[in-house]
Amino acid sequence: MAAERTLPPLVADEREMLRAYLEHQRTTLALKCEGLSEEQLRRQSVPPSTLSLMGLVRHMAEVERAWFRRIVSEEDISLVWSDRGDFQVAYDVSEATWPEALAAWQGEIEHARRVERDAKSLDVTGYMAKTDSAVSLRRAMIHLIDEYARHNGHADLLREAIDGAVGY
């Protein structure tokens, strides 16, 4: 994976700042997973939680897909692992493999980057069926930054429990 993370700029326009913070958070999760075996990536936190680093990566593939494909681009597409729209399915890694999880996540990130890059402005809107409302690309990017930041906190704890590694 060889993730390399740079700090977001201190001064930039809104779009570049959002893009940089989102990339920073994506790279942080990649770094938390770097260098671990598949067994370590599927190791769960404290019972009864099924949270694992692999599960977080699968979950974030679902989140990327939901916001950039299903909402912003309004694609009629199911989630990666759930045809019922159940984001929790991604946490079940009992039959999952790391190459599959990583490929799905990276694929959704690449698609999301294209959606953002091709949008004329942050004010481009898609549709969120759940709330029956328009949603801007700006809101989608902010949501993803928030979602990654929250789950990167979980990843911090998971990684420390696996091998004592802290930081990034």
pLDDT tens by residue, 25-60 = 999 999 999 999 999 999 998 888 889 999 999 999
What is the structure's pLDDT at 22? 98
Q: Is residue 9 part of a domain?
A: no
3-class SS of residue 133? strand
Q: Are 65 and 110 in contact (CB under 8 A)?
A: no
Q: Is residue 5 part of a domain?
A: no
Domain count along the chain: 1
* Secondary structure letter of residue 71 according to DSSP: I
> What's the whole-model pTM score?
0.94
Helices (H), 82-163: 98-118, 137-163
User: How many of the other CB atoms lie within 10 Å of CB of 145?
Assistant: 18
75 found inside a domain:
yes
C-alpha distances (whole Å) from 92 to each of 63, 79, 80 are 16, 14, 13
**Domain range for 154:** 14-163
Residue 135 included in any domain: yes
Structure letter (DSSP) for residue 126: E
